[in-house]
C-alpha cells in the first residue's frame, strides 16, 4: 500500500468518526418545528433573553427528555417566528450547539406561576464571545452580538413583557489578566445597554457563575469573584451558584445534568425575585 492510499484511508477514518460524533450529538434534535395554534395573551406572556457565550448557548447532550414540549414554553427560530420550545434553543452555531439551560428554566417557572402565564425564551448567546465584543457590537462567528441582542429583544417585545435576562459568560475573559481586572466595569456597561434596549433600568439580570472544573481554576475563580462583586453593586442583579455542577468531560462546558440544574436554579431565583417584588396585601 502506498503512503498516498494510507493517508486517504486515515482521512476517511477521521471523517467517519466525526460523522458518528455528529450523529450522536444530534440524535434527539427536533426534526420539525412546531408552532403554537394561537399566540398567547401578550399581557400574560413573560419573555426572557438568554445571552452570553457557550455555556449559555449550550454544549450539553440533548436527550429525549429535553424535547418534550409544553405549549406554554415558547421560543423563536432564526427568522423570528414563534415556536413551541424544544432543545436546543440556540441556532447560531449549528455544528456546536447542544443542550442549554433554557427549557429547564421555563419548566421550573411553570411550577410556580398561574396557568395563565406563558414563557418565551429568546436565544442570543454565541460561544467563545468576549464581553468586550458584546460591548463593541463586534461580529463574532457571523453574529453581530449587541445588534443581534437588540433585534431579538424587539421580537420578544411583540409577544409579551420582557421580564429578565439570563447571562452566563466569562470563560473567554478569564484567559487574560487585563480582562479579568475590568470585568466588573464591563458588566456594568453592557448591562446598561441591555436595560436601555429593554426600556427598563431595573430589569432583573441573573448571572451564572463559571463552573469549578476549569483546568485554569485560578483565573475562573477570579472571574467569579468579579461576578459576585458586581452583583453586590447592582440591586437588580442576581447570582446563580454553579460550584457543585459537573462538566461534560472537557473541563469547560456543563454536562446535561448541570445545564438542567442551572436552568432550575435560574427559575427558582426568578420566582424569588417575583415574590419579593409583588405588592403586599395587608
The model's confidence at residue 143, banded by pLDDT at 50, 70 and 90, is: very high
Contact 162, 120 (CB under 8 A): no
% residues pLDDT > 70 (the chain) = 91
**Stretch 108-131: mean pLDDT, rounded?**
98
Task: Report the pLDDT value the prediction gives residue 19, as an integer from 0 to 100.
Answer: 43
| Torsion 6-25-123-223 (CA) sign | negative
Q: Which of 22-31, 106-115, 164-173 has the lowest mean pLDDT?
A: 22-31
Which comes out higher in pLDDT, residue 16 or 182? Answer: 182
Task: Report the pLDDT value the prediction gives residue 12, as an integer from 0 to 100.
Answer: 44
Q: Is the pLDDT of residue 209 over 60?
A: yes
Cross-strand bridge partners of residue 160: none
Task: Report the pLDDT value the prediction gives residue 57, as an integer from 0 to 100.
Answer: 98
Q: Average model confidence (pLDDT) for the chain? A: 92
Strands 118-123 and 73-76: parallel
What are the boundaries of each domain within the chain?
Answer: 32-277
- CATH number (1.10.10.10, 3.40.50.10470, 3.40.50.1110, 3.40.50.1220) of 32-277 reads 3.40.50.1110
Q: How far apart are CA 255 and CA 251, in angstroms?
A: 10
Q: Is the pLDDT of residue 86 over 90?
A: yes
Contact 219, 186 (CB under 8 A): no
Task: Tell me which residue of 166, 145, 150, 152 sits closest to 237, measured CA to CA.
Answer: 166
Q: Is the pLDDT of residue 278 over 90?
A: no
| Structure letter (DSSP) for residue 160 | S
Q: How far apart are CA 21 and CA 15, in angstroms?
A: 10
The distance from CA 39 to its chain's CA centroid, rounded to whole angstroms, is 24
Contact 14, 92 (CB under 8 A): no
Contact 126, 92 (CB under 8 A): yes
pLDDT in tens, 2-28: 455 565 444 444 343 344 445 789 999
Task: Report the pLDDT value the prediction gives residue 140, as an integer from 0 to 100.
Answer: 98
Q: How far apart are CA 162 and CA 269, in angstroms?
A: 16
pTM of the model: 0.91
Q: Is the pLDDT of residue 1 over 50?
A: no
pLDDT in tens, 230-254: 999 999 999 999 999 999 999 999 9
Beta strand segments in the chain, E: 45-52, 73-76, 82-84, 118-123, 139-140, 143-144, 161-168, 205-208, 237-240
pLDDT in tens, 25-77: 999 998 889 999 999 999 999 999 999 999 999 999 999 999 899 999 999 99
Cell of 136: 463593541
Amino acid at each position: 500500500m502506498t503512503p498516498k492510499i494510507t493517508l486517504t484511508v486515515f482521512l476517511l477514518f477521521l471523517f467517519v468518526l466525526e460523522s458518528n460524533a455528529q450523529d450522536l450529538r444530534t440524535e434527539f434534535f427536533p426534526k420539525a418545528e412546531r408552532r403554537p395554534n394561537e399566540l398567547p395573551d401578550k399581557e400574560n406572556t413573560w419573555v426572557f433573553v438568554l445571552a452570553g457565550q457557550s455555556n449559555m448557548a449550550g454544549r450539553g447532550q440533548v436527550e429525549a427528555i429535553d424535547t418534550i414540549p409544553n405549549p406554554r414554553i415558547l421560543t423563536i427560530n432564526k427568522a423570528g417566528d414563534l415556536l413551541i420550545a424544544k432543545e436546543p434553543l440556540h441556532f447560531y452555531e449549528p455544528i456546536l450547539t447542544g443542550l442549554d439551560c433554557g427549557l429547564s428554566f421555563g419548566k421550573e417557572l411553570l411550577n410556580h406561576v398561574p396557568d395563565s402565564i406563558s414563557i418565551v425564551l429568546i436565544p442570543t448567546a454565541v460561544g467563545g464571545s468576549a464581553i468586550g465584543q458584546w460591548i463593541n457590537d463586534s461580529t463574532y462567528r457571523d453574529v453581530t452580538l449587541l445588534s443581534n441582542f437588540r433585534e431579538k429583544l424587539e421580537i420578544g417585545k411583540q409577544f409579551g413583557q420582557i421580564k429578565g435576562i439570563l447571562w452566563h459568560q466569562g470563560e473567554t475573559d478569564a484567559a487574560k489578566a487585563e480582562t479579568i481586572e475590568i470585568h466588573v466595569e464591563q458588566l456594568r456597561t453592557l448591562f446598561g445597554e441591555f436595560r436601555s434596549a429593554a426600556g427598563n433600568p431595573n430589569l432583573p439580570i441573573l448571572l451564572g457563575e463559571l463552573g469549578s472544573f476549569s483546568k485554569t481554576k485560578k483565573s475562573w475563580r477570579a472571574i467569579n469573584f468579579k461576578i459576585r462583586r458586581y452583583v453586590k453593586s447592582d440591586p437588580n442583579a442576581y447570582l446563580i451558584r454553579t460550584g457543585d455542577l459537573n462538566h461534560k468531560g472537557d473541563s469547560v462546558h456543563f454536562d446535561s445534568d448541570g445545564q438542567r440544574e442551572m436552568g432550575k436554579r435560574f427559575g427558582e431565583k426568578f420566582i424569588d425575585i417575583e415574590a419579593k417584588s409583588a405588592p403586599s396585601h395587608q
